[in-house]
Structure 1
Amino acid sequence: MSRYDWVPDQCAIVGIGTTAFTRESGVSVTALAAQAALKAIADAGLEPSDIDGLVRSDYDQTSQVALADALGIDDISYWGQTGPGGSGPSGMVGQAVAAITSGQATHVLVYRALNGRSGRRLGKGVSVTGGVGGESTYLELFSPYGVTSPGQFFAMLARRHMSEHGLTEQALAEIALVSRKRANANPAAQMYGRDLSRDDYFSARLISDPLRLFDFCLETDGAAAVVVTTTERARDLAQRPALIRSVAQGTGVRVGPGQMYPVLMGESLDHLPSRSTAQRLYERAGLTPGDVDVAQIYDCFTVTVYLQLADYGFCKPDEVSAYIEGGGLDLGGPIPINTAGGQLSEGYIHGMNHVVEGVRQIRGTSTSQVPGAEVSLVTSAPPPGSSALLLVAA
């Protein structure tokens, strides 16, 4: 047994739910959270009164108490949250597992809701005094020099990888194109019915060099939720459970303080948090990268996918671009990714929709189903932290 004393398959995801993914929901974030939650609870064959735990993102504007009230739940015995931001969703599921296995809850609802287009737009640049910055983010050390948004941060990581590891623009294009193909098979995706050609990709405007328009994720109003319980209880519920073989979080070695920006100052990019997270994840699962059938890889930008492929063991750092350009991420490739369209083309729900799609692959109900998928990887962001799940068939 590992030094973490992790026991695989104790818990399972038994219910999933999403709202429509739109540019303007017309309702509150709490209403979105409640819609997704009710769908997930019903999908599991449960009632709202069965839920006694709630876990949210630290960025969510809907508190656990507000959601409990909206659902008509009288007494929550556990509530929690994790993050930061997109590094949270897999870790949120892990927190649900911890609550259940420690006896603090029996059925835990994990949710993320946002009006990410009509309300608070997370990708918008901000000043030090503009809302996000100061003591918790270290933005005050970067904003005076023009680094005010996540897109600029990831663009600089992309440029550095072009210099150090041979990242190519063709590889970034391939990530965007694969995601769009999967979205065009998914009627629920924001980009359903909107084809993207290679010419479209390269003719699109640069936003932060070398990242173009289609290297950026969508801005989305919507919500996603899952229900977690013990594997034993799951046997009596409505759906085929997706067993949680392992979950892990990590910060990496000396990743730096604050909200992602200080990572740019590191001497090396070879210690991003996804590497230590992956090692922990595989160790706890007793699995290797070769066992993974399909992956939902966090994709706030195309380069975010690129950054994780070597860390999760699918190829070597200097071979990532060739791996991508050779069809490694498409259906029929070694590791099909983001099979609902991902955040680039399905919707940006801060990665919770990746968890939902990871479950669909285990159930065999994805719109781009990988035949015989039995091991499904879900990742939640590189810096400033990372988390990940390995889901397996019962």
Structure 2
Amino acid sequence: MSANDPMVVGIGRSPYSRNSGRTTWAMAVEACRLAVEDSGLRMSDVDGIVEFNTGDSTGSLNVAYGLGLPGLRYPVDIANGGNVVTLAVALAAQAVQTGKCKAVLVYRSLNSRSGKRLGTFTGNLEIGGDDQYGAPHGYMAPGQWFAMFCRRYMHEYGTTYEDLGEVAIVTRGHAVKNDWAIMRDPIDMEQYLASRWIYDPFRLYDCALEADGACAILVTSRERARDLKQTPVQMLDEETFMGRHPDSWEDFGNLFSAHCAPPLWQRTGFTPSDMDFACIYDCFTFTTVGVIEDYGFCGKGESGNYYRSGRATYGGDCVMNPHGGLLSEAYIHGMNHHYEAVLQLRHQAGERQVADAKVALVTAGTGPFGGGLIYARV
């Protein structure tokens, strides 16, 4: 135990909606300001900001200006999406742990429904970077890439449409008690199977809920956290794996999590049975399937039965996405998973509180790139 151990001491968010009518800058400033207020630290204690920004967002220096900060010792802007959210938190933790910073904000702000939507293009269509190679075939959207992964996974491990549907149904069931969730009406298997196709094998309920909003957490040291307003939550460790572009990945039957899970469990000494709940980056139901199997909550091809038998909900083995996840709460690129994890570990989640929650896994990304970290109540 060290005085510089990284602790999450503040959380903040703007409302989640399908049409915010606001700029990403305004929402980011609101979420960050609320995170600082929630912690009890002074705004002047913040000397670092980490943000990630695929699609639309607003940069760290602009947000620092909106918060009234004179400047930053650690401005980090990552040109990536939900695959780097655990890495973004880890960078903030490292800055605190090394003494580089006193307190670091991590945020994501986007209008992914009313503003710049993934896979939507306007004006001249000019595609650069790795995406240019799939563009002539119309292969440009994440749903297309990971539908290919899912189809291969179904072939190799026997996963069915109904198995994917179980993830959607249980996750929506958790959102019912979450006032912040955009979608709160329960769904059943008949509704799931009747929903329209997006990219086979993905139906509507297999895909994350595009949304507008911002979410932020504040990280500081154990020493500074000692006398603050909230129960501190420690980030114990993080593991990231970044492979190649999805359409040049050689093994569609495996995800990043096959590479991240073993070292994370080994270094921390934890196992899946130690987790009270998990916030799994669920941009697609398939992502949840592959990730929980790689992390060892169940065997390959067994996730459908894991959800069907009640092991992924209250009273089961591990509550998966108690807030409704990206599928039903909102697609805030996974930053809302970190808000929920901290809320649960503080024991402030109200009706959806996981009893006596002490330790949680939070993941990021899908396909060939992503990460995972472990939080613990102090």
| Amino acid aligned to 1:119 | G
The verdict on how the C-alpha distance between 1:155 and 1:203 changes in structure 2, with shifts beyond 3 A counting, is same
- How far apart, in 2, do the equivalents of 1:30 and 1:340 lie? 25
- How far apart, in 2, do the equivalents of 1:318 and 1:28 lie? 42
**2:165 is equivalent to residue 173 of structure 1:** yes
Q: Deviations over 1:278-326 (max 9, x none)?
A: 2222223221122111000001111111110121111221323322322
> RMSD of the TM alignment (CA)?
2.1
Which residue number corresponds to residue 390 of structure 1? Answer: 374
Which residue number corresponds to residue 103 of structure 2? Answer: 107
C-alpha contact (below 8 Å) 2:154/2:160 kept by paired residues: yes
| Amino acid aligned to 1:383 | G
Measured after TM superposition, the shift of residue 126 of structure 1 is 5.2
The verdict on how the C-alpha distance between 1:8 and 1:380 changes in structure 2, with shifts beyond 3 A counting, is farther
**2:87 is equivalent to residue 96 of structure 1:** no
Map 1:330-345 onto structure 2 (within 5 A). 330-345=313-328
Measured after TM superposition, the shift of residue 206 of structure 1 is 1.0
Which residue number corresponds to residue 64 of structure 1? Answer: 60
- How far apart, in 2, do the equivalents of 1:130 and 1:262 lie? 22
Which residue number corresponds to residue 353 of structure 2? Answer: 369
Measured after TM superposition, the shift of residue 327 of structure 1 is 2.3
Which residue number corresponds to residue 174 of structure 2? Answer: 182
- How far apart, in 2, do the equivalents of 1:160 and 1:348 lie? 25
Measured after TM superposition, the shift of residue 14 of structure 1 is 0.5
The verdict on how the C-alpha distance between 1:8 and 1:384 changes in structure 2, with shifts beyond 3 A counting, is farther
Q: TM-score, with normalisation over the residues of structure 2?
A: 0.94
**1:149 aligned residue (141, 144, 149):** 141
Measured after TM superposition, the shift of residue 63 of structure 1 is 0.8
C-alpha contact (below 8 Å) 2:170/2:307 kept by paired residues: no
Which residue number corresponds to residue 217 of structure 1? Answer: 208
- How far apart, in 1, do the equivalents of 2:302 and 2:182 lie? 32
**2:193 aligned residue (192, 202, 207):** 202
Map 1:278-317 onto structure 2 (within 5 A). 278-317=261-300
274-283 or 59-68, which moves further after superposition? 274-283
Q: Deviations over 1:201-239 (max 9, x none)?
A: 111111111111111111111000000011121111110
- How far apart, in 2, do the equivalents of 1:269 and 1:125 lie? 27
Q: Give the 3-state SS of the residue equivalent to 2:301 in structure 1.
A: helix
Q: Deviations over 1:177-202 (max 9, x none)?
A: 1111111100111113x232222111
- How far apart, in 2, do the equivalents of 1:163 and 1:384 lie? 18
332-341 or 351-360, which moves further after superposition? 332-341
C-alpha contact (below 8 Å) 2:61/2:71 kept by paired residues: no
Task: Specify every segment of 5 or more residues in structure 1 that has no aligned partner in the other structure, as ranges.
Answer: 1-5
The verdict on how the C-alpha distance between 1:32 and 1:64 changes in structure 2, with shifts beyond 3 A counting, is same
Which residue number corresponds to residue 236 of structure 2? Answer: 245
C-alpha contact (below 8 Å) 1:8/1:246 kept by paired residues: no
Q: Deviations over 1:335-376 (max 9, x none)?
A: 211111101000010000001111111111224111111111
Percent identical among aligned pairs is 39
Q: Give the 3-state SS of the residue equivalent to 1:381 in structure 2.
A: strand
**2:153 is equivalent to residue 161 of structure 1:** yes
- How far apart, in 2, do the equivalents of 1:74 and 1:336 lie? 42
**1:121 aligned residue (98, 114, 117):** 117
- How far apart, in 2, do the equivalents of 1:320 and 1:26 lie? 39
The verdict on how the C-alpha distance between 1:358 and 1:248 changes in structure 2, with shifts beyond 3 A counting, is same
| Amino acid aligned to 1:143 | A
Measured after TM superposition, the shift of residue 155 of structure 1 is 1.4
- How far apart, in 1, do the equivalents of 2:141 and 2:334 lie? 19
Task: Specify every segment of 5 or more residues in structure 2 that has no aligned partner in the other structure, as ranges.
Answer: none
Which residue number corresponds to residue 247 of structure 2? Answer: 261
| Amino acid aligned to 2:148 | M
Measured after TM superposition, the shift of residue 267 of structure 1 is 4.3
C-alpha contact (below 8 Å) 2:149/2:252 kept by paired residues: no
Q: Give the 3-state SS of the residue equivalent to 2:239 in structure 1.
A: strand
The verdict on how the C-alpha distance between 1:309 and 1:150 changes in structure 2, with shifts beyond 3 A counting, is same
**1:23 aligned residue (12, 18, 33):** 18
**2:82 aligned residue (79, 86, 94):** 86
**2:30 aligned residue (27, 32, 35):** 35
Which residue number corresponds to residue 3 of structure 1? Answer: none
Measured after TM superposition, the shift of residue 276 of structure 1 is 1.9
- How far apart, in 1, do the equivalents of 2:79 and 2:321 lie? 21
How many residue pairs are counted as aligned between the two chains?
376
C-alpha contact (below 8 Å) 1:171/1:322 kept by paired residues: yes
Measured after TM superposition, the shift of residue 125 of structure 1 is 4.8
Q: TM-score, with normalisation over the residues of structure 1?
A: 0.90
Which residue number corresponds to residue 336 of structure 2? Answer: 353
